[in-house]
Structure 1
Amino acid sequence: MPSPYRALFGRPGTKAFSAAGLLGRMPLSMMSIGVVTMVSQLTGRYGLAGALSATLALSVAVLGPQISRLVDRHGQRRVLRPATLVSVTAVAGLLVSAQQRWPDWTLFVFAACVGCVPSISSMIRARWAELYRDSPRALHTAYSWESIVEETCFIVGPILSIGLSTAWFPEAGPLLAAGFLTAGVFWLTAQRATEPVPHPREQHARGSALRSPGLRVLVLTFAATGAIFGAVDVVTVAFAEEAGHKAAASLVLAAYALGSCAAGAVFGLLHFTGHASRRWLTGVCAMAVSMVPLPLVGSLPALGVALFVAGLTVAPTGVTTMALVAEHVPRAQLTEGMTWTSTGITVGVALGSSAAGRVVDAAGAERGYLVACAAGALAALIALAGYRRLRPGASTVTAGGAASPVPVAEGGPAAQDSPSASPH
């Protein structure tokens, strides 16, 4: 392991909570694609599969920030365990209703309740922020490490979820995802020493973290990039099925995640000058351009190569986003702020998967990738329009959690050791 990453784990407890986070985040890559695979296996209806995936994602978008706000107030252990039990119970109901061929509306009810799943990514990043709040460079490395962990989940998760659902029984993928979630959350919340200190209720009198204009720009942009991810998931499964190798979809999606993982590993070793907003804008535009080749590929190997290249843009953009969240959100609302960016992605996944499922049903898999192209173009337009709210000189957050008119610029004396002040 390169020395910056090795030094990162010098603090007691860091290896344990990072490992728990790996387990707890596996459903991030397994649940949605597992539901799509399960429903398409049982019914052959990609429209229904995409709509259920969208319902699940929208419920996460609605409930996730509220759970994180409660975590900021009351602590991870008190909130995450009951929320996880509700989510896992809903997953069980979803699997039973699908297997028993109950009416479609029951599937949607249970999918909506699955949204109680906590944002494990935000919980882990909040722990890193608590440990390395005075070391910007270490915090940048920590966020880069978390991008590697997440992409590892997206490499392994789809292979497990799609592979088990196609080779064993259709419900196997979501079932295993629920098991990972339960184990990860209970292991994580058993580790009290590294848990961030809850903030009193009165610190939240300022209202939602979304009052920050910069955070709103990040969330809206990530909603569009989430649509890319949702569309790619659904269309890739359909593309592989049309090619006669449905199980190979997991390998193709793993190539997408592998590209992001490789880029994140390198990104954590680099030292940049200049403000994070410029790299963020470049990353979003690069993600948009990387979608252009997808409707043009004609085979699974070519698709895998194209998605690997596209993945190179994902992790660096996500790491830089966390730097910007830390600048624009008070410390007392950091978990909520990070969760709002995840919520943006989740909303986008919902819209992208639903739209892509309908296009696949109507016009075939290759045309479905046009949804990803349109989403990428929209993300670039939103980023360009909102960039001024993220540039140096926009309102940022001081170490004490209060708004400050002076930015913490990466190249300045306040952060000269780090490429960022600071998600799948």
Structure 2
Amino acid sequence: MPSSYRAIFAAPGAKRFSAAGLFGRLPLAMMGIGIVTMVSQLTGRYGIAGALSATGALSMAALGPQISRLVDRYGQARVLRPATLLSTAAVAGLLICAMQDAPTWTLFVFTAASGCVPSVGAMIRARWAEIYQDRPRELHTAFSWESLVDEMCFVCGPIIAITLSTAWFPAAGPLVAAVLLVIGVFWLTSQRDTEPPVHPREAHQGSGSAIRLPALQVLVVTFVAVGAVFGSVDVISVAFAEEQGKKAAAGVVLGLYALGSALAAVIFGTLDLKGPAPRRWLLGVTAMAVSIIPLLLAGSLTFLAVALFVAGMAIAPTMVTTMALVGQHVPRSSLTEGMTWVSTGLAIGVAFGFSAGGWAVDAAGAEAAYLVPAAAGVAAVVLALLGFRRLKRPAVTGEGQHLDEHGQHGQHGGTAHGTHGADGTGAAGATLA
């Protein structure tokens, strides 16, 4: 491990809460694709499978920011534990109904109720931000490490979920994901010594929701399109592998997609970047869109695996820069909520991608269905261009200090409280996943 990464774990409790975050985030990488695999095995209908995953993603999109806002106000332990238990109970109901061949509407009801799952990645980054709030270089490295952890989850998560559901029984993937979520959240919230302080109720009443900020709106809307790329690629790749007679290999193929991003995260976290963050962000979104085009030429699993690995290398740098911009534009008192809104945009997009990808597979076959993520990539670039100017405007932190487009404090002075994040995480104030 590079020395810059080793140094951040010298902080008391850092290893423990980062490890807990690994357990808490792995289920997010397993659940969606686990539901697709389970339902497609039980019913043979990818349209329904994709629609269920979309329902879960939309539910998380609606409930996630509200949970994070409560966390900013009341603390992680008081909010995350009951939210996790509610989500786990809903997943249990979904699995029982699926295995017992219950009416389809019951599957949608329990899937919608499962969306109160916490954004564990935001909770971990909030702890790093509290520790290194006055040391931007270390915070950049810490967030890059967490980005790497996110990508490790998305390398291993689909493989674990698909393998369990195909080799054991159809509901095994989502079941194990729910168990891991409980373990991760309860382990994390037991570590009170590193839990960030809560912010006064008055601060939240005065500022309102973070989504009112124009720059955050640009990031969230753009990431709806980015999420549609991710969601549709997942569903279509599973179907493509099945058409090739190797459905179980889908987990490996999707794992390579995340592995490419993980490799980029390792390198990106060691860089001392210069230049305006908004420009890097726009270039990153464009690179992600262009990297999807080769998927239209996929004729074999080998070609698809290589193309996805290369495409994945554009993800982590873009996500890191996105969270850096969140930190520049969102006050510290709402930072967890602001980071969760980006995840919400992704979740909404993933929902659309799951659904559109599933229906496209049913209608035209997997290879032709890759037009869906290609179109979503084009939409992301268009949205990024339309909102680019809002990201270049000076931002104000929770302390009233202005930040320029580089994320540095302006004429009022002071020290930047953050920089880049990893899975889309960086902050100049105080979080992915």
User: TM over 0.5, yes or no?
Assistant: yes
The Cα of 1:305 is off from its aligned counterpart by 0.3
Given the alignment of the two structures, is residue 120 of structure 1 paired with residue 117 of structure 2, yes or no?
no
Q: Name the counterpart of 1:89.
A: 89
Instruction: Work out whether residues 59 and 112 of structure 1, in 8 Å CA contact, stay in contact via their aligned partners in 2.
Output: yes
Q: Name the counterpart of 1:41.
A: 41
Q: Which amino acid aligns with 1:150?
A: D
The Cα of 1:143 is off from its aligned counterpart by 1.1
The Cα of 1:407 is off from its aligned counterpart by 1.8
CA distance in 1, matches of 2:343, 2:142: 18
CA distance in 1, matches of 2:418, 2:87: 41
CA distance in 2, matches of 1:409, 1:302: 39
CA distance in 1, matches of 2:288, 2:403: 30
Q: Which amino acid aligns with 2:394?
A: S
Given the alignment of the two structures, is residue 396 of structure 1 paired with residue 395 of structure 2, yes or no?
yes
Paired residues, number: 420
The Cα of 1:116 is off from its aligned counterpart by 0.7
The Cα of 1:278 is off from its aligned counterpart by 1.2
Q: Which amino acid aligns with 2:336?
A: T
The Cα of 1:397 is off from its aligned counterpart by 3.0
Given the alignment of the two structures, is residue 355 of structure 1 paired with residue 327 of structure 2, yes or no?
no
Instruction: Work out whether residues 408 and 421 of structure 1, in 8 Å CA contact, stay in contact via their aligned partners in 2.
Output: no
Q: Which amino acid aligns with 1:194?
A: T
Instruction: Work out whether residues 272 and 410 of structure 1, in 8 Å CA contact, stay in contact via their aligned partners in 2.
Output: no
Given the alignment of the two structures, is residue 325 of structure 1 paired with residue 322 of structure 2, yes or no?
no
Q: Which amino acid aligns with 1:46?
A: Y
Given the alignment of the two structures, is residue 306 of structure 1 paired with residue 303 of structure 2, yes or no?
no
SS at match of 2:193: coil
Q: Which amino acid aligns with 1:331?
A: R
Q: Name the counterpart of 2:288.
A: 287
Q: Name the counterpart of 1:237.
A: 238
The Cα of 1:147 is off from its aligned counterpart by 0.8
Given the alignment of the two structures, is residue 201 of structure 1 paired with residue 198 of structure 2, yes or no?
no
Q: Name the counterpart of 1:376.
A: 377
Query: After superposition, where does 1:2-81 map in structure 2 within 5 Å?
Result: 2-81=2-81
Instruction: Work out whether residues 54 and 351 of structure 2, in 8 Å CA contact, stay in contact via their aligned partners in 1.
Output: yes
Q: Name the counterpart of 1:335.
A: 336
SS at match of 1:169: coil
SS at match of 1:293: helix
The Cα of 1:367 is off from its aligned counterpart by 1.3
Instruction: Work out whether residues 329 and 395 of structure 2, in 8 Å CA contact, stay in contact via their aligned partners in 1.
Output: yes
What's the % identity of the aligned pairs? Answer: 65
Instruction: Work out whether residues 391 and 405 of structure 2, in 8 Å CA contact, stay in contact via their aligned partners in 1.
Output: no
CA distance in 2, matches of 1:421, 1:231: 29
The Cα of 1:146 is off from its aligned counterpart by 0.8
Q: Which amino acid aligns with 1:377?
A: V
Query: After superposition, where does 1:208-287 map in structure 2 within 5 Å?
Result: 208-287=209-288
Instruction: Work out whether residues 395 and 403 of structure 1, in 8 Å CA contact, stay in contact via their aligned partners in 2.
Output: no
SS at match of 1:133: coil
Q: Which amino acid aligns with 1:210?
A: I
Residues 239-279 of structure 1: CA distance to partner in whole angstroms, max 9, x if unpaired? 00000000000000000000000000000000011121111
Q: Which amino acid aligns with 1:281?
A: L
CA distance in 1, matches of 2:362, 2:40: 12
CA distance in 1, matches of 2:403, 2:167: 56
Q: Name the counterpart of 1:182.
A: 182
CA distance in 1, matches of 2:408, 2:192: 35
Instruction: Work out whether residues 220 and 344 of structure 2, in 8 Å CA contact, stay in contact via their aligned partners in 1.
Output: yes
Instruction: Work out whether residues 88 and 114 of structure 2, in 8 Å CA contact, stay in contact via their aligned partners in 1.
Output: yes
The Cα of 1:223 is off from its aligned counterpart by 0.7
Residues 210-245 of structure 1: CA distance to partner in whole angstroms, max 9, x if unpaired? 111110011011111000000011000000000000
SS at match of 1:390: helix
Instruction: Work out whether residues 273 and 411 of structure 1, in 8 Å CA contact, stay in contact via their aligned partners in 2.
Output: no
Instruction: Work out whether residues 255 and 304 of structure 1, in 8 Å CA contact, stay in contact via their aligned partners in 2.
Output: yes
CA distance in 2, matches of 1:201, 1:416: 22
CA distance in 2, matches of 1:214, 1:65: 17
Residues 286-311 of structure 1: CA distance to partner in whole angstroms, max 9, x if unpaired? 00000101011100011000000000
CA distance in 2, matches of 1:159, 1:12: 33
Query: After superposition, where does 1:406-421 map in structure 2 within 5 Å?
Result: 406-407=403-404, 409-410=406-407
- Structure 1: tracts of 5 or more residues without a match: none
SS at match of 1:278: helix
SS at match of 2:194: coil
Residues 348-370 of structure 1: CA distance to partner in whole angstroms, max 9, x if unpaired? 00001100100100000011111
Inter-CA distance 91–418: structure 2 relative to 1 (3 Å threshold): closer
- Structure 2: tracts of 5 or more residues without a match: 421-425
CA distance in 1, matches of 2:147, 2:214: 25
CA distance in 2, matches of 1:142, 1:149: 11
SS at match of 1:272: coil
CA distance in 2, matches of 1:48, 1:237: 14
Using the TM superposition, name which of 72-81 and 127-136 deviates more.
Answer: 127-136
Instruction: Work out whether residues 295 and 367 of structure 1, in 8 Å CA contact, stay in contact via their aligned partners in 2.
Output: yes
Residues 149-207 of structure 1: CA distance to partner in whole angstroms, max 9, x if unpaired? 00000111111100010011000000000011000000000000110001111101121
Residues 116-158 of structure 1: CA distance to partner in whole angstroms, max 9, x if unpaired? 1000011011111111110111111111111100000011111
Instruction: Work out whether residues 327 and 419 of structure 2, in 8 Å CA contact, stay in contact via their aligned partners in 1.
Output: no
Instruction: Work out whether residues 20 and 188 of structure 2, in 8 Å CA contact, stay in contact via their aligned partners in 1.
Output: yes
TM-score normalised to structure 2 length: 0.95
C-alpha root-mean-square deviation of aligned residues, in Å? Answer: 1.5
CA distance in 1, matches of 2:228, 2:5: 31
Q: Which amino acid aligns with 1:329?
A: V
The Cα of 1:406 is off from its aligned counterpart by 4.2
CA distance in 2, matches of 1:315, 1:417: 17
**Moved beyond 3 Å, runs of 4+:** 402-406, 410-422
CA distance in 2, matches of 1:403, 1:361: 53
Instruction: Work out whether residues 143 and 322 of structure 1, in 8 Å CA contact, stay in contact via their aligned partners in 2.
Output: no
Residues 324-353 of structure 1: CA distance to partner in whole angstroms, max 9, x if unpaired? 111110000000000000000000000011
